[in-house]
Structure formats: structure tokens, C-alpha cells
Amino acid sequence: MQTNSLPRSFTVVFGGVCFFLSALLMIVSLFGPPLAGDIAFLDWVLERPGYTLFFTYMVLGFSLFNVPALLGATHLVKGRGEKLIYFGSITALIGNFFFTILVTEALIQRGMATLEREPMVALLQWIFETPVYIVPHMLFFLLFYVGLLLLTIGLFRARVASKWLIVAGVVQLFAGFLEFGPAQAYVQSAVTLALFGGIGWVLIRKPEEGDTMVTVQKSI
């Protein structure tokens, strides 16, 4: 067993970069076709299969970048606000797991959409109305965005972020329940950039300096 060490500042800065990448991928996906939850998804797949696959992978990339982003946030501070940052990040990570389930379902449904339309419509309508879809969707939404809100509060308590980042977290939480019509994608893009970009900037701008190291164990 060989032990290598990475500076805590590297872990934090890398997490900050991943927050920006997550925001970018989410914003791109907001202007694409519906991921799932809508029968119109079938029409998009049949008419533009490559187009829908591209945006599905954009959303998958969002969920993957969230992992190092949130883990990086847990290494930002020691002391004041640390527990809240840690708890919020872990809660958001659990929510992100359920989002990955939804993306996997969308990839499966994308393959099914090329079969006969009528039975597929009936099957997807049943899926979208049952706990198979509803429960992971609600758990993702509540755990992920509540976790991010707790993270912003922890950053504020640690005195490394302003209260406006908390406001962005609250707005992001409620934006999912509101309908803005044609402006929906633009509103959610602005809020996503404010929240994810704000957290990412805090991590990049103020990494933990000093001799503290993040230990990585590697088997030989």
C-alpha cells in the first residue's frame, strides 16, 4: 500500500472548477428537448435521435461533475460552518445519486422509443405516473437543492461567501415549482449560474491554505 498526498487547496480548486462545468452543462441541457417525464420525448427521439442523445449526455455529465464539486466543498474550511458545509454537501450528493437514476431511465426510454409508438406511449404514461419515476425525481429535487442551500448557509457562516449566495439557493429551490412559460430556460439558467458559479468561485478564490493534506491511498 502506497500513500500519496494531495494539497487540500488542489482538491478545493478542482471542486470549484467542477461546479462551473456542472453549471455549463446544465444550462446547455435546459435549452434542449425534455429529458423524460413528457410523451413529447418520444417525438424528439424519433425525429432527432442524435440531438436528444447529445442533450441526455449533457445532463449525465452534469451529474458526474457534481461528485468532485461537492466533495471539494467539504474540504474548504475547518471550524465555523464546517459541519453545515459537510452535511449540505453529503445531502446534495445523495440527491445527485437519484438524479443519475433518472438519467439512466431516460437513456433506457430513449432506446425503447424506437419501438411501436402506441404501446410505448402507454408504458411511458404509466411510468411517469408511478413511484418508479416520481419518487427518484422528488428525492433528487429535495435532497440535492436542500443540500446546496445548506451548503451556502455553511459557506456564509464560515465567512467565505455573502448572503446573496443563500438567496440564490432559496430561489433555485423554489424555481423548480414555478412555471415561467417561454422564459423558463432563461430564468433557470440565470439561477443555476448564480448558485453553481457562486459556489465554484468561492472554492477557487479561497482554497484552504496550509500544511493540511488530503490523503489518497493507492494500491500497488
Residue 112 lies in a domain: yes
> How many C-beta atoms surround the C-beta of residue 21 within 10 A?
19
What's residue 19's pLDDT? Answer: 96
For the record, the C-alpha cell of 116 comes out as 411501436
Residue 31 lies in a domain: yes
Contact at 8 Å (CB) between 209 and 162? no
DSSP assignment of 70-114: HHHHTTS-SSTTHHHHHHHHHHHHHHHHHHHHHHHHHHHHHHHTT
- The reply to whether 173 falls in a domain is yes
Task: Please indicate, yes or no, if residue 218 is contained in any of the structural domains.
Answer: no
Nine cell digits for residue 87: 452535511
In a domain, 220, yes or no: no
Domains held by the chain: number? 1
The end-to-end CA distance of the chain, in Å, is 6
Q: What is the pLDDT along the chain (220 residues), one digit of tens a residue?
A: 444 555 567 888 999 999 999 999 999 988 877 665 566 677 777 777 777 788 888 888 999 999 999 999 988 877 788 889 999 999 999 999 988 888 887 777 777 766 777 777 777 777 777 777 788 888 898 999 999 999 999 999 888 888 899 999 999 888 877 777 778 888 889 999 999 999 999 999 875 444 343 333 343 3
Q: Which domain holds residue 124?
A: 7-212
Q: How far is residue 67's CA from residue 172's CA, in Å, rounded to a whole number?
A: 19
Residue 170: per-residue pLDDT:
92
Asked whether residue 219 is domain-assigned, the answer is: no
Residue 204 is assigned to a structural domain of this protein: yes
Rounded to whole angstroms, the Cα distance separating 24 from 53 reads 17
Q: Which residues of 169-201 are buried (b: 16+ CB within 10 A; e: fewer)?
A: bebbbebeeeeeeeeeeebbbebbbbbbbbbbe
Is residue 90 in a domain?
Answer: yes
pTM: 0.81
Instruction: Determine the pLDDT at residue 149.
Output: 94
Q: What is the pLDDT of residue 126?
A: 78
CB-CB neighbours of 140 under 10 Å: 21
